[in-house]
Structure 1
């Protein structure tokens, strides 16, 4: 799956008339504000309806349940993350990596409750939240691979190396939003440098995946 397909998958196409699609999008936008820093369990459907100034039945009509509504909100917000992270093809390689990581950290910072849900996999073993998380991971890995190697269809060793780095990013971001001692800029720079180390390690184990010049110590 290429990056364009991943972006499309991250935001499922709504069905219905133009008016109903617009109404659904409006409810999602309201929900994104309500759940930006509030956990799933902290708001009841009555709370949501009251703060959104809509009838509770309208939310059930479009999303069937509170969980369905929350999943739609998460899918919509991470679609923005994937789109932004994968953009900037015209930028120099180092700038694009900075942009990708910075946009990821901005998402974690401004959507803390949703980010925790995605990274932790939801309440218990939530396969739909896991699918959203895995989709974001694949999109970010594809973006990094395309920038580093010029392609997204990489060998298992390279993919595992990038996945290990991305999992460390998730852990660092979780710790950072709980204890924001470092500035976003400093954390971003740290993660960029650890990516360089990952790319060099991948090259050492598989010379076919040569680390790009900005990541090389001899550059």
Structure 2
């Protein structure tokens, strides 16, 4: 984060900055970056344009701050119940991810798609987060972040599938959240079992909580639980 994105550290300033970012999340989720001027943003926010420039040096800094804040929000809210058994934490973290997406749709779409249009820097932020989550997944499933290319691709495939399923679901939530959560957990388990067949040095972890005490025995539960640290367990 650059200096122009750090201005205003008092409680009142932080609250105002948060309000501006909340407005920006909604605007950029539905409108392309180029289609919005600073005058448009100020009008929607109900503030003078100069106030936006006080917190963010320019529109670019404002937009990137919105994306970074959204990503941080999604990542930081995860894994808030480490005391739970793995089998419960799995569902808790995946359910939290879905909960975040459902109740913060504009922010979630910005994180996953970069808003409307294509932006190289935004995609870089999203890709970096994906890589972090893949490493966390691998650590939870296999006890190490560095895994063979086939295993990494499989985990990436599951993660992009989660994003696609979640985006489609929040657009038309025909299924209850519990059913979507079941689907994602089962898909992860299937992914780990497929990896085990193709990459023998990456066996699928066991399912039961009793095996959790042995580092590499962190079940698919453990793997999904780590996604929670890059996902969400939150309230609206």
Count of residues in Structure 1 that have an aligned counterpart in Structure 2 = 203
Match of 2:166 in 1: 173
Q: Matched residues in 2 for 1:80 and 1:118: separation?
A: 10
Match of 2:133 in 1: 140
Q: Could you give the per-residue CA deviations for residues 84-142 of structure 1, whole angstroms, max 9, x where no partner exists?
A: 33555554333333333223222322222232233234444311110121122123223
**TM-score normalised to structure 2 length:** 0.72
The one of the two structures with greater contact order (alpha-carbon pairs below 8 A, sep at least 6) is 2
Of 19, 27, 35, which aligns to 1:30? 19
Q: Matched residues in 2 for 1:77 and 1:121: separation?
A: 11
1:195 correspondence with 2:188:
yes
Match of 2:155 in 1: 162
1:153 correspondence with 2:146:
yes
Q: Matched residues in 1 for 2:150 and 2:58: separation?
A: 41
Helix, strand or coil at the partner of 1:103: helix
* Structure 1 segment 35-46 matched on structure 2, within 5 A: 35=24, 37-38=26-27, 39=29, 41=31, 45-46=38-39
Q: Which consecutive unaligned segments of at least 5 residues does structure 2 have?
A: 208-218, 221-236
Q: Could you give the per-residue CA deviations for residues 141-181 of structure 1, whole angstroms, max 9, x where no partner exists?
A: 23322221222222222111100001111110110111011
Stretch deviating more after TM superposition (182-191 or 168-177): 182-191
Q: Could you give the per-residue CA deviations for residues 26-57 of structure 1, whole angstroms, max 9, x where no partner exists?
A: 34411343245443528754454355454211
Q: Matched residues in 2 for 1:35 and 1:62: separation?
A: 13
Checking the alignment, whether the CA contact within 8 Å between 1:35 and 1:114 is kept in structure 2 is no
Q: CA distance change for structure 1 residues 116 and 147 in 2, over 3 Å: closer, same or farther? A: same
**TM-score normalised to structure 1 length:** 0.77
Q: Matched residues in 2 for 1:169 and 1:61: separation?
A: 38
**Aligned-pair RMSD on alpha carbons?**
2.9
Instruction: Give the superposition deviation at 1:206.
Output: 0.9
Q: CA distance change for structure 1 residues 159 and 86 in 2, over 3 Å: closer, same or farther? A: farther
Instruction: Give the superposition deviation at 1:60.
Output: 1.8
Q: Which consecutive unaligned segments of at least 5 residues does structure 1 have?
A: 1-11
